[in-house]
Structure 1
């Protein structure tokens, strides 16, 4: 195989596919390397925030799912909710999101090659994938939370704090709310996302290494709505969630999506940030200003990184964690402002 391109994207998840779509529309000769067969699933909260819905609409894409009215925090009898002010979100299966993006990339004429990229070499004019003959002027690492490209380039940072993990399962029950519910427990949060007329997704974020069933037992009111026989899928896991990158650019390699660094899934903005990063990356390549990508990435993600970092730090402090939900309930306007700032 011998091919030379403007852009080689390593990873065919939402970040990589969105980058490919923006690149194709910018007139860049683009190819995606992704060894997994579509549609690709992942442990994910599956709630697309309004910002993500707008970014997808700008690409001419609509993902099937249920409208999301906002975010509701729940802790025992105490609840506080914030409606989205600038349009709804969408509760959508990860496989449906991936399918929509994958079909759009193929329709744009971008090849998706079943290749696993392990070894890249770059010089002053481009990047070569050893053993394949593939060469491109630029390489985009969109290979996820535990990016091999990031690690191979020595860009791996050292995450701080206790590691957190994600677990996800679907239940064939009717959604009881148009809100994403975040149930707060002692050492975990349970996210309930309505996905269909008789389907909800339950995502756990936790510092405790334990099976999904054991995690769910810590939320008895929620568990009462989810009989074991209603489980519709197996459990998927991900983590540790916090990953850091020392830079988003290294020569002719640019990082996007989770590969560019990830704080936590606590605020549910992963897809929105991946889509924003993809747009910023391609815009800088089109303008011939790749050195500005780091600055633009930091600007696009600053609010999310700061608010999520503060919330996760409080969550991991035994003296502060019990006060997060009561504080949100006492200050509903502040809670609504934070939700909409992120959404």
Structure 2
């Protein structure tokens, strides 16, 4: 019997698998896509996320040579600007594909077995979880797997989470994200968040000649239509687009709990508020470590509290900003207020980092 079966081989699933394997647990990851996998993502790791990579045995200077450090967060709205540096360490802008490839390599080094396919037909008992991997190119005859624990790391719209009845109505406005890259040199050592009435644009330096631009909004329209709301940013993007546009959403996903018997949820599958604060990747890596720590201690039920503790500040700040977004007068005051209260803005940035 497998110790830990991970459904989903993205960053959250691979980080969980690496921690489990390093803890001496036999671990299998089931993932239908080939490495590396790209997706709509802000691609910024907070200092805590960079430290979490080191805990996995990944040195960014060696494993992610084309990444680029950033010093903090900068808010701009066309008239005002304010920035705050991290207090302890730097963040890291890194292509999602590069991060995924580094995690996949580390998983192989740690002895994680990867099966090409998709977990379906989950059935949990008192002492094991049974999962079916239907026939596919990777497993022509299908596969039946039995594990002590199943970790669902199958993304924002997790089929496993839905099959277990753990989804809750999201409520509130639906928001979506779009991202592409431009072949231009970064003009700042900060992640820039550009604010406009209809949404936000995140600019993350991910290389010496490459920036990622992610747009978040509740309005469904084309990427270039969104960028038109940020003329100052658009003027800087004079290099050619380097990647196609990728999208994700609706972003908000409410979950009743993250532990259901012998099934645990991690990463986006564990619930998501919004990408507004850029904490998704870092939280996924930290949660993976906490999850495996609870399994090793024989107290999986404690993972729920650990996840809530790790995500509390991010959830609170994100919810506060989203509430302000719903009221145009308050939304217009976000950047000016941060500029007038730099100590508060700096404290918020550092609390997330």
Which residue of the other structure, out of 227, 238, 241, is the alignment partner of 2:251?
241
CA distance in 1, matches of 2:274, 2:15: 21
Question: What is the match of residue 141 of structure 1?
Answer: 152
CA distance in 2, matches of 1:296, 1:231: 40
Question: What is the match of residue 205 of structure 1?
Answer: 216
Which residue of the other structure, out of 100, 108, 111, is the alignment partner of 1:109?
111
CA distance in 1, matches of 2:89, 2:303: 29
Question: What is the match of residue 140 of structure 2?
Answer: none
Which residue of the other structure, out of 291, 303, 310, is the alignment partner of 1:300?
310
CA distance in 2, matches of 1:62, 1:308: 30
CA distance in 1, matches of 2:249, 2:30: 23
Question: What is the match of residue 8 of structure 1?
Answer: 5
1:155 and 2:166 aligned: yes
1:219 and 2:230 aligned: yes
**What is the RMSD computed on CA atoms of the aligned residues?**
1.0
Q: What does 1:65-80 align with in structure 2 at a 5 Å threshold?
A: 65-80=67-82
Which residue of the other structure, out of 25, 33, 55, is the alignment partner of 1:28?
25
CA distance in 2, matches of 1:183, 1:307: 17
CA distance in 2, matches of 1:316, 1:187: 10
Question: What is the match of residue 128 of structure 2?
Answer: 126
Report deviation, 1:88. 0.6
CA distance in 2, matches of 1:27, 1:317: 51
Report deviation, 1:316. 2.1
> In the alignment, is the contact (CA less than 8 A) between 2:57 and 2:106 conserved in 1?
no
Secondary structure of 1:230 counterpart? coil
CA distance in 1, matches of 2:49, 2:126: 35
Report deviation, 1:317. 2.2
Report deviation, 1:58. 1.6
CA distance in 1, matches of 2:159, 2:297: 28
1:87 and 2:97 aligned: no
> In the alignment, is the contact (CA less than 8 A) between 2:73 and 2:83 conserved in 1?
yes
Secondary structure of 2:82 counterpart? strand
Q: What does 1:54-69 align with in structure 2 at a 5 Å threshold?
A: 54-63=51-60, 64=64, 65-69=67-71
CA distance in 2, matches of 1:142, 1:333: 37
CA distance in 1, matches of 2:158, 2:323: 24
Question: What is the match of residue 37 of structure 2?
Answer: 40
Question: What is the match of residue 193 of structure 2?
Answer: 182
Cα distance per residue 1:127-184 (max 9 Å; x no partner): 1113521110110000010000000000011112101100001000111001101110
1:193 and 2:204 aligned: yes
Residue correspondences, number = 339
Report deviation, 1:30. 0.6
Unpaired segments of 5 or more residues in structure 2? 135-142
Q: What does 1:248-263 align with in structure 2 at a 5 Å threshold?
A: 248-263=258-273
TM, length-normalised to structure 2? 0.94
CA distance in 2, matches of 1:208, 1:325: 21
Unpaired segments of 5 or more residues in structure 1? none
TM, length-normalised to structure 1? 0.97
CA distance in 1, matches of 2:189, 2:327: 31
Report deviation, 1:187. 1.2
Question: What is the match of residue 139 of structure 2?
Answer: none
